[in-house]
């Protein structure tokens, strides 16, 4: 059973919960509600308002401190390094990304690394902000450590998503279409394993390893391990176990994200996030560069569109009816949500209604 | 049976073959020989001097025209777009990357897209050039189309590698260690499937699809298809078939590379490379940005080193003795090759000796 809220109703309710129950300022609450509701509207419920639970535990654990002001600790005409001082992730990210985009107005390219932040919502939202201005946008973040390096067995790296946005079409005065990739570098998000556990299903190979570092398909045993053993066993990266199907590649992409986020910001590695007595310690990396660096943006977008059209219109595998370009599913889900409302699952609705009753 | 050549002997011989038999200029031959021999020395024989065969067929097909001069077709203080005019890939890439690095000396970041080029050797070599100057380096290229979009069955995208280099240590006046990722975004390179065919072994799932777009593990049937059907069946991207283990993620990474290389340069998409009457049409994308954008490079490298050391020193999976950081295997192979010589397999040695006899 799902329940439906209008986009604005859900955003308003989330703002109220964050300001009145979580102690967020109005500005912190507004951007946080926006990225959460955007995720639900786009069909990414793992990053939607269901995260209010996680945000609450971050407050209780002292990892997130609403009211903390982000600070620029290093700056050049085309870069900035931000210390989030354990504040609210989406608020810090908005503050940082806006400053980076302002720099890119002049420099045509800009970079931003952030330390001592918290969960910033869907990575794609931040990459998209650059693409909406006619630029290529990149957004990476580390997360709580849950991923295992190839041939290892300790959780050391986060799900470390890669988001990249490239404008495809400009019409009626705005960017109307874009390529928008937003992927965890681990094979799957943790929520997928939880679903297999609840349904007592065997996981596919390549998702996870146990405490010895060997692949496991037992979702229930894995879930027990994940919450009882603080260090051993965890997610595999894209490509799975070992090197045969490229697990070392996914691990390399996760590590690249780690070095760009934590390395360049002098922030905590994923293995050092959420330690008692410290803030969440999450780090981000943002970059953007203008299509104008390479010629006339309209001409470049037309060419990008033609490449993507060739792929969209190519022959489908037997039994399949559509080849997706990244970002299409989410954009279409959002259109539906704006028309018919945002669907939440029963557990999220119950959590939300309980919070609403407390207001 | 392998044969061993000294690094310099192999490089000199390759230069001679390229100048005297292939019609390359001395400069075109030197950089081409360098990237080929580097690949063999680093233990990446798929991109080593065995490629002389492919380079020869590119000459015969009219795809590569030695002597063609690259041209800057668009330029800003931090970017350039190069038209390679169907010249020699490594020569064009060296020319373009040096110009980009010179721009980055001033701007601290620079970008370069290249169209109408040819095979440029190992992507990692080009990313490394930036890291040797204390910068983060990125190098991407498209290739002949061989990869299949998720839910598709037409070969439309190349193996589209991602190379990223980040300096880890500066000592004795130079960058001595770096993180160096260099990965095809397809699950495996074509050479791996050829090996399975020769040995009549069943391939793992997730490597390839047949002409209907369904996964296949029959390497021999796949090889026949690959060389008989000009369009259908091909490589899967990292993560394999469908979405269950993230195949849409690998496809997205391959497509990202495609849009950065072909899109930004207004060059051919992978699906339009190597067409009769045209040049190879290969496109590249290079980018670099200085660690100095984010603070003191020495401090940042020390932090990067500490993150990587934590991973190196972490507990290994049962039965495993080492966790690799990307680039280590190749750096160690090169050290061995410089000491003991570069090993070539029998087929490559025979090909090389035949060419040598013609000199």
For residue B307, give the CATH number of its domain.
Answer: 3.30.1370.60
CA–CA distance from A34 to each of A10, A28, A31, A122, B81 (Å)?
10, 10, 5, 11, 38
From B201, B235, B269, the end of a domain falls on B235
Same domain, A304 and A344: no
Strand partners, A218: A202
- In whole angstroms, what is the distance from residue B150 CA to residue B170 CA? 42
CB A216 within 8 A of CB A203: yes
**Is A115 within the bounds of a domain?**
yes
B314 touching chain A per CB within 8 A: yes
Span A174-181, mean pLDDT? 97
Check CB contact under 8 Å for A314 and B149: yes
- In whole angstroms, what is the distance from residue B176 CA to residue A301 CA? 40
Same domain, B18 and B142: no
Whole-model pTM: value is: 0.98
Strand partners, B136: B289
**Is B323 within the bounds of a domain?**
no
CA–CA distance from A234 to each of A32, A156, A209, A221, A265 (Å)?
28, 9, 6, 11, 26
Q: Residues A249-260, buried b or exposed e (16+ Cβ, 10 A)?
A: bbbbbbbbbbbb
Q: Report the residue count for chain A.
A: 359
- In whole angstroms, what is the distance from residue B92 CA to residue B104 CA? 18
- In whole angstroms, what is the distance from residue A58 CA to residue A32 CA? 14
Same domain, B99 and B159: yes
- Nearest chain A residue to B80 by CA: give it: A294
Span A61-84, mean pLDDT? 98
- In whole angstroms, what is the distance from residue B49 CA to residue A308 CA? 35
- In whole angstroms, what is the distance from residue B153 CA to residue B141 CA? 22
Kindly report the CATH number assigned to the domain that includes residue B216: 3.30.60.50
User: How much is the pLDDT for B280?
Assistant: 96
* Burial class of A212 by CB neighbour count within 10 A (0 to 12, 13 to 18, 19+): middle
**Is B69 within the bounds of a domain?**
no
Same domain, A350 and A214: no
Strand partners, A343: A4
User: How much is the pLDDT for A191?
Assistant: 86
User: How much is the pLDDT for A276?
Assistant: 87
Chain A hits for B269, Cβ within 8 Å: 307, 310
CB B64 within 8 A of CB B22: no
Check CB contact under 8 Å for B310 and A269: yes
Kindly report the CATH number assigned to the domain that includes residue A357: 1.10.1530.10
**Is B357 within the bounds of a domain?**
yes
User: How much is the pLDDT for B32?
Assistant: 98
- In whole angstroms, what is the distance from residue B93 CA to residue B294 CA? 28
B271 touching chain A per CB within 8 A: yes
Q: Kindly report the CA angle at A167 between B116 and A89, in degrees rounded to 5?
A: 125
| Kind plus residue range of the DSSP H or E element containing B163 | strand B162-171
**Is A318 within the bounds of a domain?**
no
Same domain, B164 and B90: yes
Q: Kindly report the CA angle at A256 between A250 and A258, in degrees rounded to 5?
A: 105
User: How much is the pLDDT for A316?
Assistant: 98
Q: What is the interface size between A and B, counted as CB pairs within 8 Å?
A: 261
Chain B hits for A206, Cβ within 8 Å: 245
CA–CA distance from A36 to each of A31, A61, A95, A144, B3 (Å)?
9, 21, 17, 19, 60
Q: How many CA atoms lie within 13 A of B302 on its CB side?
A: 5
**Is B321 within the bounds of a domain?**
no
Number of helical (H) and strand (E) elements in chain B, helices listed first: 12, 12
Same domain, A153 and A96: yes
Provide the pLDDT confidence category of residue A170 given band limits of 50, 70 and 90: very high
Residue among B260, B284, B271, B261 at smallest CA distance from B87: B284
- Nearest chain B residue to A259 by CA: give it: B304
Find the domain containing B337 and state its range: 1-60+329-359
One digit per residue, the tens of pLDDT, for chain B of length 359 reads 689 999 999 999 999 999 999 999 999 999 999 999 999 999 999 999 999 999 999 999 999 999 999 999 999 999 999 999 999 999 999 999 999 999 999 999 999 999 999 999 999 999 999 999 999 999 999 999 999 999 999 999 999 999 999 999 999 999 999 999 999 999 998 889 998 998 999 999 999 999 999 999 999 999 999 999 999 999 999 999 999 999 999 999 999 999 999 999 999 999 999 998 899 999 999 999 999 999 999 999 999 999 999 999 999 999 999 999 999 999 999 999 999 999 999 999 999 999 999 99
**Is A112 within the bounds of a domain?**
yes
- In whole angstroms, what is the distance from residue B134 CA to residue B104 CA? 11
- Nearest chain A residue to B162 by CA: give it: A253
**Is A40 within the bounds of a domain?**
yes
User: How much is the pLDDT for A2?
Assistant: 81
Same domain, B154 and B282: yes
- Nearest chain A residue to B249 by CA: give it: A183
Residue among A301, A279, A243 at smallest CA distance from A116: A279
User: How much is the pLDDT for A163?
Assistant: 98
User: How much is the pLDDT for B191?
Assistant: 86
A275 touching chain B per CB within 8 A: no
- 3-state SS assignment for residue B186: strand
- In whole angstroms, what is the distance from residue A55 CA to residue A67 CA? 15
CA–CA distance from B343 to each of A126, A298, B337 (Å)?
47, 50, 8
| Kind plus residue range of the DSSP H or E element containing B286 | strand B282-290
B338 touching chain A per CB within 8 A: no
- The C-alpha of A70 sits at a distance from chain B's nearest C-alpha, in angstroms, of 16
HEC string of chain A?
CEEEECHHHHHHHHHHHHHHHCCCCHHHHHHHHHHHHHHHHCCCHHHCHHHHHHHHHHHHCCCCCCCCCCEEEEEECCEEEEECCCCCHHHHHHHHHHHHHHHHHHHCEEEEEEEEECCCCCHHHHHHHHHCCCEEEEEEECCCCCECCCCECECCECCCCEEEEEEEEEECCEEEEEEEEEECCECCCHHHHHHHHHCCCECCCCCEECCCCCEECEHHHHHHHHHHCCCECEECECCCCCCCCCHHHHHHHHHHHHHHHHHHHCCCCHHHCCCCCCCCCEEEEEEEEEHHHCCCHHHHHHHHHHHHHHHHCCCECCCCCCCCCCCHHHHHHHHHHHHHCEEEEHHHHHHHHHHHHHC
Span A6-29, mean pLDDT? 98
User: How much is the pLDDT for A218?
Assistant: 97
Span A29-49, mean pLDDT? 97
- The C-alpha of A353 sits at a distance from chain B's nearest C-alpha, in angstroms, of 33
Same domain, A88 and A173: yes
Same domain, B248 and B106: yes
What's chain B's Rg over C-alpha atoms? 20
Span A52-68, mean pLDDT? 96
Q: How many other C-beta atoms can be found within 10 angstroms of the C-beta atom of residue A314?
A: 18
Nearest to A245 among B206, B253, B291 (CB): B206
Check CB contact under 8 Å for A294 and B113: yes
| A135-141 and B342-345 strand pairing | unpaired
- In whole angstroms, what is the distance from residue A53 CA to residue A63 CA? 14
pLDDT (tens digit per residue) in A90-126: 999 999 999 999 999 999 999 999 999 999 999 999 9
Check CB contact under 8 Å for B252 and A326: yes
Q: How many CA atoms lie within 13 A of A324 on its CB side?
A: 18
Sequence-separated (6 or more) residues with CB below 8 Å from residue A4: A340, A341, A342, A343, A344
- Nearest chain B residue to A80 by CA: give it: B294
Same domain, A115 and A72: yes
Same domain, B277 and B215: no
Check CB contact under 8 Å for B318 and A246: no
Check CB contact under 8 Å for A269 and B107: no
pLDDT (tens digit per residue) in A202-252: 999 999 999 999 999 999 999 999 999 999 999 999 999 999 999 999 999
In eight-state DSSP terms, residue B298 is H
Chain B hits for A153, Cβ within 8 Å: 314-318
Check CB contact under 8 Å for A260 and B136: yes
Interface probe with B: pick from A80, A137, A252, most Cβ of B within 10 Å: A252
User: How much is the pLDDT for B147?
Assistant: 98
CB B148 within 8 A of CB B236: yes
Nearest to B156 among A157, A289, A310 (CB): A310
Residue A1 has pLDDT above 80, yes or no: no
* Total number of domains constituting chain B: 3
- Nearest chain A residue to B83 by CA: give it: A294
Same domain, B182 and B197: no
- Nearest chain B residue to A261 by CA: give it: B304
């Amino acid at each position: 059973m799902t329940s439906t809220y209008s986009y604005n109703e859900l955003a308003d309710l989330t703002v109220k919960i964050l300001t009145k129950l979580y102690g967020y300022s109005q500005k912190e609450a507004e951007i946080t509600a926006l990225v959460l509701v955007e995720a639900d509207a786009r069909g990414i419920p793992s990053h939607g308002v269901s995260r209010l639970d996680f945000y609450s535990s971050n407050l209780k654990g002292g990892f997130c401190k609403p009211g903390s002001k982000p600070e620029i600790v290093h700056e050049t005409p085309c870069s900035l390094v931000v210390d989030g001082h354990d504040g609210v992730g989406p608020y810090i990210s908005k503050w940082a990304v806006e400053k980076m985009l302002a720099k890119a107005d002049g420099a045509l390219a800009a970079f931003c690394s952030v330390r001592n932040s918290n969960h910033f919502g869907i990575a794609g939202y931040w990459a998209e902000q650059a693409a909406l201005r006619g630029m290529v946008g990149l957004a990476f973040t580390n997360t709580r450590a849950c991923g295992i390096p190839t041939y290892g067995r300790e959780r050391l790296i986060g799900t470390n998503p890669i988001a990249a946005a490239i404008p495809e079409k400009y019409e009626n005065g705005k960017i109307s279409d874009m390529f928008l990739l937003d992927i965890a570098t681990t094979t799957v998000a943790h929520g997928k394993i939880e679903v297999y556990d609840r349904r007592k299903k065997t996981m596919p190979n390549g998702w996870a390893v146990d405490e010895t570092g060997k692949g496991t398909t037992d979702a229930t045993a894995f879930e027990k391990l994940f919450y009882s053993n603080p260090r051993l066993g965890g997610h595999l990266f894209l490509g799975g176990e070992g090197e045969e199907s490229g697990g070392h590649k996914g691990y390399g992409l996760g590590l690249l994200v780690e070095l760009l986020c934590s390395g360049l910001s002098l922030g905590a590695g994923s293995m050092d996030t959420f330690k008692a007595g410290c803030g969440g310690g999450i780090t981000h990396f943002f970059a953007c560069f203008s299509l104008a660096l390479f010629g006339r943006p309209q001409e470049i977008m037309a060419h990008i569109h033609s490449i993507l059209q060739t792929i969209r219109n190519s022959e489908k595998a037997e039994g399949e009816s559509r080849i997706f370009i990244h970002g299409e599913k989410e954009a279409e889900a959002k259109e539906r949500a704006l028309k018919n409302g945002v669907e939440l699952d029963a557990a999220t609705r119950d959590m939300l209604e309980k919070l609403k009753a407390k207001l």
